[in-house]
Amino acid sequence: MMTPRLNEIWVYLAASPLVGLTATLLAYVFAFRIYERSRFSPLANPVMIAVALLVTVLTVTGTPYKTYFDGAQFVHFLLGPATVALAVPLYLQLPKLRTHVFPLLVGWWQVRWWRWYRPSALHGCSAHRAKPCCRSRPSR
């Protein structure tokens, strides 16, 4: 439960469209510090931690997602150009990617195997161990 003074500050900040952007950036900075302290362990992925932190804050404060997104849409808008900008260095590394095609395909296969076959063992669908579980496949 928030204290009355903190609640007043939150109401003021929530009225500003920049609260979503500020919350997103602060959550990521905090998550990246955790990532650094874990010596860059993939289990401490800063994006995953930031999303979990934001979901927790929005839930605890009762802030609707639409209110949050009104301020965070700037980040959403920049994701498109950032994705395209990542394509340029990837294209420059194409010769190196071609020399590592086998490990890339093995990694791709492992991800597909885990996604389609392994979840059946995790949620108790013992009748479907040899084939994909009906509940583990996304609807098409």
Domain locations along the chain: 4-92, 94-140
Residue 62's nearest CA partner among 133, 138, 1, 118 is 1
Q: What is the mean pLDDT of the chain?
A: 80
How far are the Cα atoms of 19, 32, 114, 133 from residue 127, in angstroms, in the given order?
48, 42, 17, 8
Name residues of the chain where pLDDT drops below 50: 128, 140
- Would you state the structure tokens that stand for residue 31, as one six-digit string? 């998550």
Q: How wide is the angle at C-alpha 126 spanned by C-alphas 121 and 128, nearest 5°?
A: 90
Q: What is the pLDDT, as a whole number, of residue 50?
A: 96
- With contact defined as beta carbons under 8 Å apart, do 67 and 82 qualify? no
- With contact defined as beta carbons under 8 Å apart, do 31 and 49 qualify? yes
Rounded to whole angstroms, the Cα distance separating 4 from 102 reads 59
